[in-house]
A and B are shown apart, each in its own frame.
Chain A
């Protein structure tokens, strides 16, 4: 794209140059004040009916989840359908699923920043928010899946009276603890940093009163001084540079929960890249889902344009192909590796009692995304919405297939069993969606869901490009 040759730091520089950007990432020419008006509107205006319907549904789901988790913790893991051979099922499936969702946010805000993709500007704020909420949902499951969740803090190496007895640094679960917390903290910092200038804007828009004070606190006294701006952009770049390897490491480590085990179907070196690709894939599915709905409900079509959807769809197509390739190579290795047990597990996936789950996964992750080759599909919200949903269904089933079908047919046939989920497990899954959407719906009401300052820069640049 134009300007990549120039030694410049940030896309803002691109915007500064009177070079017309193709395509236009904002519809029409927008006055700077209008931009903040539009973006600040939801924070002051009374929500529309659509929002209330959504939040009602989400809160109901959340309530269901709370009830299920309470009952399960009070009664025991036995309220789930697990057994002597299948020690994990819904719990870890949901965990990996949500962690994966989170990855798209970091990718958009960090990696695309490094690649100077301007189109990220309209969506990165909400994508980062999604990341944080997804990681929260994910973190829930390793906690509640423990037999004795009230002892979860034992996973942390803290000085104690047991020797002190430390944790087992060889266990991928401990790696997870560190990875997920790091991911959550860094994402939060990055997210908050992005909002600093916007808080200042809101502070100055707000008349005297509580609102002003709150935004004043949040903005940390930001005054838009040139010195701060330039330092700020350096800081953002550095954080982006850190978040990029982080996001890759997190899902790699999650995949090591399986890759480092000796279970046929888990013990595979391809898992880290395979999982990262899958994560971004499902993440973009979720971003599309959220934004297609939000731009409609919040009337932000001018900021989140069809061109944005098109770009996201393209990335989805790319990562989807990576996932499909991973499936293929997994099967190839199972055959080529010559390990009878491994081979059996894969044949069993496609033909065994859980074949329906396997084929659902293949349909959603390999077949459906092929529609995205068509531009007409990529630019039609109506078409993208169902695809986005199906992609997430498919990715959920991918984790289910990996975990359950491998466990229920392991080395000793005498221990082969079936796993059937209970209502409690399903309720918990529903609840996690409730938590996620509740958080998101509150977010779009309480915080600027689009990076105002970046859009302003973009708008100015676009204006100049037009003139």
Chain B
């Protein structure tokens, strides 16, 4: 890295060095015969290692490194209070691992069954960061908050260290013996063996399961999804005789009608859909129009051009009403006998708009009700969208829940008809509505095995817990959508004595083969033939392993022929609703249950990053309240945090309320995924378990069926920790927006940027670069993936509920959310705000000790070990992006999150210092990535290409709303954005001249009269 050693003649100054020349060329450039100690931390041994110092060194130790280390040790003395580091040397140095240089592996995200392709950054053998796979066409290179956070789950202290038999630690051998003998007897007796699993997108695993059914006559595989999409599959079964989950193509839709489907937030495959959505929502003539009908203000609804707040029971009627209007075939008078929250004229308009966009519109519905889904599917069929905006082939395998099967299974279990039950990736004792029934049944099962990675609600009741690997430790594959294959490869040796579930399944089948070999042979047999590119399998395998995914040509099926009765079901959809639901009464409300962006179904509840991630809409962390319309709350005299009992459908829970603008007055909404008891210290007892409100409907489907609840004030107060407590922009031009028409006539519409006054001082001479960010508010959906990505990249500490409630969250980037217009149906805007890196930074002027100064390439730098913590900069920052270390957040039992354990600290990024108590911190524009990019460019000898350096927030953004680049390079996308007429600076009139800019938000609708 030091240029002086590049082309100079090489002298040797010791025999060791001379000898070293022969085999080890890297040590030649080392100045020190002994490598510097911290560089020896290894993946295998890293378990004992705490975080190495921040140091951008990329190859052998030089004087620079030495000085850097000296610098760090000074910093450590001031900053990290000298944490002891155990660094153990390699016994034999592994090839292809240069200390300090990250290795990247392509794999598939195990965060949810959407199975996004991702890249994993490992440093010294430890996975420390998840990034989207930019090459993968299906997911577009972004990630979601959950995906970003999965890397922390790898280092979750709750994970089992070894298998358990009847709750006691046991060796794999004894556990296997016991299980195998039991299975033998059961198999001999033709007993019923059931594998109850979550959705399995892995073809090879499904193949193993197929072997089981061949082996055991009584074997059955039941897929259980707490949030099931079975209704959609059933609807397609009814209409097309094909029980498939369509593959939605929002990028082909010019008109999107969402019915209670949060497809940008938590529904089915958010990253994929967000990428498609953003592609189609770029301001311009082809910008899609999005109408959303929903009963809870969701991320999707917040991004819709037109949003209607309706009660859940109205969704079916709306679908029917639309179908009535668009289908000329079976039109019949639609009786608008109920409050649809919108006039018939509006419906007509929407229907006409749909008809105008035949084949390029998409109606997507998230209601778990066959009738409604049938109507919706029919609607899409009538509009000719099948095959265009939603495909039946290829179709999606991302949710395969089979609800009646689950119901029957539970019955059989209770009857004692099930001899062996294997639980794979499911936790029914937590999220099955009738947990008691399930647990009663479980007691009567002769052999119950769970692959859970921790003793969760279910695993605590089974005979054997055979902990599965974390996906970052495991081999595997996935086929989320027909023909889109991807591989899962280990990025670290298993931290504990765990074993891949597939290995266990093979072992118990008596297969000698381990899963890795099985996987390869499966791909050789089934996937290799699908492609024509490569002839040699090894080549093919390595290629896919390197790329992480494979797109095989998909046999396009003939457009589905319609069959089956529609009208009947449709009419049922309209009239099937319970009467009392049609009017919202004073103290009785319809209940809606929804998955949150951060926690989804709650499987990641023990992940502190996700618990502390502010909900994109409510901005609440560490649990959620019962969403209720502000007007109703006023009527019932309820304040945020007032605890109420929610009673209905035979269930009774207590939780605080949250006044949620955009909530229909007839409906209250409760979040799923909370109220864990077996997740671990972080997740246990956060929020309330709402799964019990769900249930099997008359059609056997598992989901929330129309429920009426009554609220009762308890008088107790349980404040919720929100990171944003004021929701109006107070008429200040912070987020600037325009309608599409205005934009088309004048691209600068709505920008109304006040001219910044001329600076009093001469410009400082800029360096070779001027780094900056531009953020397209029109693309940003507010999904908050950037927040977690930044947290992972920059070692941002988790502070816990009390501190967040005090207004002390540490996130370097936040997504401001403002409401506009009436509280009943507000417009929502999102604005990611991080340090604006002002050229005339107010924070710099006031710092007495020069702890924050401006770099020559446009970065507002914060020097932690110079900071004495006067907080003057925080006061003087108009953007309030500076974060102060009020306490010691690392290795402090008071903040018992990931930074308090040797295991948890393994996730820390060695390139970033862990800040000590009493210093200010803030967004550094990922300066460590910039440095790495510079070093790489210097080594390769060519200049830094645009896009070569990406900040963590930019990389994670599934909508590509954040763009980092060199403003001096006119070709860079960031610079081009800055030239855009939509571009403006936040609070430009203060004359801070920020390095971060925003593009106006464009709404595709008529201007709203404010």
A–B contact via C-beta, under 8 angstroms: yes
A residues near B (Cβ < 8 Å) are 75-78, 81-88, 142, 145-149, 151-152, 154-155, 162, 165-168, 170-174, 177, 257, 260-263, 340-341, 344, 407, 410-418
Residues on B with beta carbons closer than 8 Å to the beta carbon of A173: 846, 848, 870, 872
**Considering the complex of A and B, which 3 residue pairs feature the smallest CB-CB distances, nearest first?**
A147-B869, A147-B918, A78-B886
Cross-chain pairs A/B with CB under 8 angstroms, 9 sampled? A77-B918, A83-B808, A146-B870, A147-B870, A177-B848, A412-B987, A413-B818, A414-B814, A417-B807
Residues on A with beta carbons closer than 8 Å to the beta carbon of B992: 262
Cα of A413 to Cα of B883 in the assembled complex, Å: 17
Whether A87 pairs with B872 at a CB distance below 8 angstroms is: yes
Residue B868 at the A interface, CB < 8 A?
A: yes
Q: Which of B453-470 contact A (CB under 8 A)?
A: none
Whether B876 pairs with A263 at a CB distance below 8 angstroms is: yes
Q: Mark B817-852, 1 if CB is under 8 A from A, else 0.
A: 110000000000001010000000010011111100
Number of interface residues of B (CB under 8 A): 56
Whether A412 pairs with B879 at a CB distance below 8 angstroms is: yes
Whether A261 pairs with B850 at a CB distance below 8 angstroms is: no
Whether B886 pairs with A77 at a CB distance below 8 angstroms is: yes
- A161 nearest CB neighbor, chain B only: B74
A140: min CB distance to chain B, Å: 15
B615: min CB distance to chain A, Å: 14
Whether B886 pairs with A87 at a CB distance below 8 angstroms is: no
B880: contacting residue among A78, A165, A167, A410, CB under 8 A:
A410
B residues near A (Cβ < 8 Å) are 78, 724-732, 734, 803, 806-809, 814, 816-818, 831, 833, 842, 845-850, 866-872, 874-876, 878-880, 882-888, 917-920, 987, 990, 992
Whether A147 pairs with B887 at a CB distance below 8 angstroms is: no
A456: min CB distance to chain B, Å: 47
B735: min CB distance to chain A, Å: 10
Whether A88 pairs with B808 at a CB distance below 8 angstroms is: no
Interface centre among B728, B876, B885, B992 (most CB of A within 10 A): B876
- B879 nearest CB neighbor, chain A only: A412
Cα of A149 to Cα of B848 in the assembled complex, Å: 14
Residues on A with beta carbons closer than 8 Å to the beta carbon of B803: 78
Residues on A with beta carbons closer than 8 Å to the beta carbon of B880: 84-85, 410-412, 414-415
A147: contacting residue among B847, B850, B884, CB under 8 A:
B884
Whether B845 pairs with A171 at a CB distance below 8 angstroms is: yes
B854: min CB distance to chain A, Å: 12
Residues on B with beta carbons closer than 8 Å to the beta carbon of A81: 806
Cα of A412 to Cα of B727 in the assembled complex, Å: 10
Whether B884 pairs with A416 at a CB distance below 8 angstroms is: no
Residues on A with beta carbons closer than 8 Å to the beta carbon of B884: 77, 82, 84, 87, 147
Cα of A162 to Cα of B850 in the assembled complex, Å: 12
Whether B807 pairs with A84 at a CB distance below 8 angstroms is: yes
Q: A147-B917, A412-B734, A412-B880 are in contact. Are A167 and B807 (CB under 8 A)?
A: no
Cα of A17 to Cα of B875 in the assembled complex, Å: 58
A414: contacting residue among B78, B816, B842, B987, CB under 8 A:
B816
Whether A147 pairs with B867 at a CB distance below 8 angstroms is: yes
A340: contacting residue among B724, B732, B920, CB under 8 A:
B732
B649: min CB distance to chain A, Å: 38
Residues on A with beta carbons closer than 8 Å to the beta carbon of B849: 154-155, 167-168
A161: min CB distance to chain B, Å: 9
Cα of A462 to Cα of B59 in the assembled complex, Å: 89
Whether B869 pairs with A165 at a CB distance below 8 angstroms is: no
Residues on B with beta carbons closer than 8 Å to the beta carbon of A152: 868
Residues on B with beta carbons closer than 8 Å to the beta carbon of A165: 850, 866
B806: contacting residue among A83, A407, A413, CB under 8 A:
A83
Interface centre among B816, B831, B846, B885 (most CB of A within 10 A): B846
Cα of A165 to Cα of B728 in the assembled complex, Å: 44
Whether B850 pairs with A167 at a CB distance below 8 angstroms is: yes
Chain A-chain B contacts (Cβ-Cβ < 8 Å), number: 163
Q: A77-B886, A417-B725 are in contact. Are A151 and B78 (CB under 8 A)?
A: yes
- B814 nearest CB neighbor, chain A only: A414
Given A76-B917, A83-B808, A154-B868, 5 further pairs, Cβ under 8 A:
A77-B869, A147-B870, A147-B917, A166-B850, A171-B848
Cα of A146 to Cα of B884 in the assembled complex, Å: 11
- B920 nearest CB neighbor, chain A only: A147
B150: min CB distance to chain A, Å: 28
Whether B833 pairs with A155 at a CB distance below 8 angstroms is: no
B848: contacting residue among A84, A174, A414, CB under 8 A:
A174
Q: A76-B886, A145-B870, A152-B868 are in contact. Are A411 and B987 (CB under 8 A)?
A: yes
Residues on B with beta carbons closer than 8 Å to the beta carbon of A155: 848-849, 868
Cα of A414 to Cα of B818 in the assembled complex, Å: 8
Whether B883 pairs with A84 at a CB distance below 8 angstroms is: yes
Residues on B with beta carbons closer than 8 Å to the beta carbon of A257: 872
Q: A168-B849, A413-B818 are in contact. Are A82 and B886 (CB under 8 A)?
A: yes
Q: A77-B886, A147-B885, A171-B847 are in contact. Are A262 and B872 (CB under 8 A)?
A: no
Cα of A407 to Cα of B882 in the assembled complex, Å: 14
Whether A413 pairs with B729 at a CB distance below 8 angstroms is: yes
B752: min CB distance to chain A, Å: 14
- B919 nearest CB neighbor, chain A only: A147
Residues on A with beta carbons closer than 8 Å to the beta carbon of B831: 414
Whether B833 pairs with A414 at a CB distance below 8 angstroms is: yes
Whether A261 pairs with B875 at a CB distance below 8 angstroms is: yes
Whether B868 pairs with A147 at a CB distance below 8 angstroms is: yes
A167: contacting residue among B808, B814, B848, B876, CB under 8 A:
B848
A148: contacting residue among B731, B847, B919, CB under 8 A:
B919
Residues on B with beta carbons closer than 8 Å to the beta carbon of A174: 848
Whether B887 pairs with A78 at a CB distance below 8 angstroms is: yes
- A171 nearest CB neighbor, chain B only: B848
- B808 nearest CB neighbor, chain A only: A83
Cα of A155 to Cα of B866 in the assembled complex, Å: 11
Cα of A320 to Cα of B831 in the assembled complex, Å: 46
- B863 nearest CB neighbor, chain A only: A165
Q: A168-B850, A173-B846, A413-B729 are in contact. Are A84 and B875 (CB under 8 A)?
A: no
A397: min CB distance to chain B, Å: 19
B441: min CB distance to chain A, Å: 49
Q: A155-B848, A166-B850, A411-B878 are in contact. Are A148 and B808 (CB under 8 A)?
A: no
Residues on B with beta carbons closer than 8 Å to the beta carbon of A147: 867-871, 884-885, 917-920
Cα of A75 to Cα of B886 in the assembled complex, Å: 9
- A416 nearest CB neighbor, chain B only: B726
Cα of A82 to Cα of B808 in the assembled complex, Å: 8
- B844 nearest CB neighbor, chain A only: A168
Residues on A with beta carbons closer than 8 Å to the beta carbon of B726: 413-414, 416
- A153 nearest CB neighbor, chain B only: B868
- B917 nearest CB neighbor, chain A only: A76
Whether B888 pairs with A76 at a CB distance below 8 angstroms is: yes
Cα of A262 to Cα of B879 in the assembled complex, Å: 11
A87: contacting residue among B848, B875, B917, CB under 8 A:
B875
- B886 nearest CB neighbor, chain A only: A78
Residues on B with beta carbons closer than 8 Å to the beta carbon of A262: 842, 876, 878, 990, 992
Interface centre among B803, B866, B875 (most CB of A within 10 A): B875
Residues on B with beta carbons closer than 8 Å to the beta carbon of A85: 807, 874, 880
Cα of A149 to Cα of B842 in the assembled complex, Å: 23
Cα of A337 to Cα of B396 in the assembled complex, Å: 61
Cα of A202 to Cα of B61 in the assembled complex, Å: 72
Q: A78-B887, A261-B842, A416-B726 are in contact. Are A83 and B807 (CB under 8 A)?
A: yes
A171: contacting residue among B846, B879, B987, CB under 8 A:
B846
Cα of A159 to Cα of B616 in the assembled complex, Å: 49
Residues on A with beta carbons closer than 8 Å to the beta carbon of B732: 340-341, 411, 413
Whether A84 pairs with B869 at a CB distance below 8 angstroms is: no
Interface centre among A78, A257, A263 (most CB of B within 10 A): A78
Residues on B with beta carbons closer than 8 Å to the beta carbon of A410: 878, 880
Interface centre among B729, B807, B817, B920 (most CB of A within 10 A): B807
Whether B871 pairs with A88 at a CB distance below 8 angstroms is: yes
- A87 nearest CB neighbor, chain B only: B871
Whether A407 pairs with B848 at a CB distance below 8 angstroms is: no
Residues on A with beta carbons closer than 8 Å to the beta carbon of B872: 87-88, 171, 173, 257
